[in-house]
Every structure is written in structure tokens, then in C-alpha cells.
Amino acid sequence: MIGFIGLRIMGKPMARNLMKAGKELMVYDVEPAALAQMTGEGCKAAKSCREIAENCDVMILMLPNSPHVEAAVLGEDGVLEGIGKGAVLIDMSSIAPASSQKVAAKVAEKGGHMLDAPVSGGEPKAIEGTLAIMVGGEEEIFEKVKDLLLIMGSSAVYVGPIGSGNVTKLANQIIVALNIAAMSEALVLSRKAGVDPEKVYQAIRGGLAGSTVLDAKAPMALAGNFKPGFRIELHIKDIDNALQTAHDVGVPLPLTSGVFEIMQALKVAGKEKNDHSGIVEFYEQLAAVRVKG
């Protein structure tokens, strides 16, 4: 039986894909409604993270941030209180690398193994089962669970020791944020200069400026549709972790700091639950123009 902790926007479809593949799941979430929905679909409910650990040799976490992971694993009735020797904890949350290392050390003291395996692709890819998964930890353990990961993702790449997965995710989030910001500037410029942004997008998407980010987010900006696949508030969390990690190792991130403040401004404006494609709204306000025709 596989344990799954965290059943929200990302965790729920990931758990469903495991069920579709024939895996038996025991699940837990602090939100009763989220737990009830998944148990209604055939999962076995647990009353705590500890109960998950007592019954499962492989456990998956999908939680918002470092404090949530530490509470679920190290806190009262947490995973650590029930984990067995040889058990594998796969943390697919996006958290600070230092937190991954802290939790993994405690898991190792109990004879368990931990992988940090954050994902990229947002809710659409979670639903499709085509997430990109970046993994840190013991390579031997990664190989044992790789097939399980590939039920939830189209790729699962081992990148190094524990914490490496989250360093990779932070690098990913930097690139995504800066891509969206650059796209936003370009589309706003196009509209203000009197050129149809939709035509600009179609003209450049096949060239060097084309990217997965552009194809995913430009149509949302053009439609003024900011229904979240990945919320601004979650990207703020990731960039905050990136900046803290960078400062700890002595790496200045001037461009990342700039887009972080743009997202903070959107949060102040009450837009933190919008999709991160909504970064375009910051530029629209500066230029007094709407990209949407």
C-alpha cells in the first residue's frame, strides 16, 4: 500500500493517477473535505501522518511549503513516529533544499530513506500524469521507485544527493517566472504600439523566443484568463526559497529579485490567487493598456 499525504490542487490528481494505475492508497489531509472526497473514490483514509507511516512502506508528500513538510514528518503524530526501517518517503512538495536535508537526516536516523522529488507542470500536467519530476537522494532508492514516479510524470530525472531536487525546482521556477515577465513586457509593448499581440505571439512562437512557458501562458494573457493552474502566491513561495538559498550560498539573483517584487505587488493588489500568467497585469497597469483585445 502507498501512503499519500496532501490532497489539494496537485496532490489530488496525482493520487488519482496512482489509483488508475491500480495502486492501493492510504491517504491523509488536514482538510476533512479533501480527505472525504478521495476516500469516496476508493482510497483508505488515515487519521494522521503517523498512521500512514505505520501502514505504508512507500509514502508520498505533496504539501505547500517547508513548515508543512516538517510538521507532517517531524511533528506530533507525524511520519517519523510511525516509519519503519527501509521505508521510503518521497517528498514531492516544492520546499527549501535545507529543509529537505533536515527532514531526510531525521528519517535516516529511523532507518528510512527520503527523496526530494518536486514537480513542474502545474495542475494541468498533474491531471494528465505528465509532470516533470526532478529527484534528489540516494540513486539506488530512486531507481526502485522510478516506475512509480512515472505514473505521475512523463519524466523523472535523478539530479544528485538529497536537496538537489529542490535546487533544480528553484532553478526551474526562476526560469518560468522570468519567462512570464519577459512575455508580459513583450505583449504589453505590442498592444501599446498598435500591433495585435495575438499575431505577435503566433509570429514568434516558432522561433528562438518560443518556449513551453510562452505556449502555456501567452494564450491566458491574451484571453485575460487568470484562473489558476499555478497561483501567484505559490510562485512567491518558491522564489522566496530561491532567494534565501541563493543568499546562503553567495549567489546574487538581481532579475529574480525584480520579478519577486512584481509578484509581491500583485499580492498587495489582492491578485495572489490568480495564475502566475497574471504577472502581465502588473505591466498592463504601468502602461495603462490591456493586452486582451
Q: Spell out the SS3 assignment of the chain.
A: CEEEECCCCCHHHHHHHHHHCCCCEEEECCCHHHHHHHHHCCCEECCCHHHHHHHCCEEEECCCCHHHHHHHHHCCCCHHHCCCCCCEEEECCCCCHHHHHHHHHHHHHCCCEEEECCEECHHHHHHHCCEEEEEECCHHHHHHHHHHHHHHEEEEEEEECCCHHHHHHHHHHHHHHHHHHHHHHHHHHHHHCCCCHHHHHHHHCCCCCCCHHHHHHHHHHHHCCCCCCCEHHHHHHHHHHHHHHHHHHCCCCHHHHHHHHHHHHHHHCCCCCCEHHHHHHHHHHHHCCCCCC
- Kindly state the cell numbers that stand for 149: 514516479
Phi/psi for 275 (5° steps) reads -65, 150
Return d(Cα 199, Cα 75) in angstroms, integer: 53
| Residues 88 and 220 reside in one and the same domain | no
- Tell me the per-residue pLDDT of 236-257, one tens digit each, with 9 for 90 and over: 999 999 999 999 999 999 999 9
Task: Please report whether residue 269 resides in a domain.
Answer: yes
Task: Please report whether residue 293 resides in a domain.
Answer: no
Give CA angle at 101 (96, 106), nearest 5°: 130
| Residues 152 and 263 reside in one and the same domain | no
Return d(Cα 46, Cα 234) in angstroms, integer: 27
Q: What is the CATH number of the domain that holds 12?
A: 3.40.50.720
pLDDT tens, per residue, the chain with 293 residues: 999 999 999 999 999 999 999 999 999 999 999 999 999 999 999 999 999 999 999 999 999 999 999 999 999 999 999 999 999 999 999 999 999 999 999 999 999 999 999 999 888 899 999 999 999 999 999 999 999 999 999 999 999 999 999 999 999 999 999 999 999 999 999 999 999 999 999 999 999 999 999 999 999 999 999 998 889 999 999 999 999 999 999 999 999 999 999 999 999 999 999 999 999 999 999 999 999 98
| Residues 27 and 103 reside in one and the same domain | yes
Domain closes at, from 144, 161, 178: 161
- Kindly state the cell numbers that stand for 159: 539530479
| Residues 44 and 145 reside in one and the same domain | yes
Q: Maximum distance among all alpha carbons in the chain?
A: 65
Per-residue pLDDT at 51:
98
Task: Please report whether residue 155 resides in a domain.
Answer: yes
- Give me the chain's average pLDDT, please: 97
| Residues 212 and 150 reside in one and the same domain | no
Per-residue pLDDT at 229:
82
Candidate list 12, 125, 169, 271, residue with the active-site label: 169
Task: Please report whether residue 39 resides in a domain.
Answer: yes
- Tell me the per-residue pLDDT of 31-79, one tens digit each, with 9 for 90 and over: 999 999 999 999 999 999 999 999 999 999 999 999 999 999 999 999 9
Domain closes at, from 135, 161, 187: 161
Return d(Cα 108, Cα 42) in angstroms, integer: 32
Domain closes at, from 161, 184, 218: 161
Active-site residue 199, yes or no? no
Task: Please report whether residue 186 resides in a domain.
Answer: yes
Burial 260-280 (b: 16+ CB within 10 A, else e): bebbeebeeeebbebbbbbbb
Task: Please report whether residue 292 resides in a domain.
Answer: no
Return d(Cα 45, Cα 4) in angstroms, integer: 10
| Nearest alpha-carbon partner for 287 in 151, 220, 161, 193 | 193
| Residues 173 and 104 reside in one and the same domain | no
| Residues 48 and 114 reside in one and the same domain | yes
| Nearest alpha-carbon partner for 178 in 276, 289, 285, 268 | 276
Task: Please report whether residue 231 resides in a domain.
Answer: yes
| Residues 91 and 144 reside in one and the same domain | yes
| Nearest alpha-carbon partner for 29 in 12, 16, 42 | 12
| Residues 12 and 135 reside in one and the same domain | yes
Task: Please report whether residue 47 resides in a domain.
Answer: yes
| Residues 243 and 225 reside in one and the same domain | yes
* Domains contained in the chain, number: 2
* Structural domain harbouring 150: 2-161
Q: What is the CATH number of the domain that holds 194?
A: 1.10.1040.10
Return d(Cα 37, Cα 46) in angstroms, integer: 13
| Residues 230 and 98 reside in one and the same domain | no
| Residues 184 and 246 reside in one and the same domain | yes
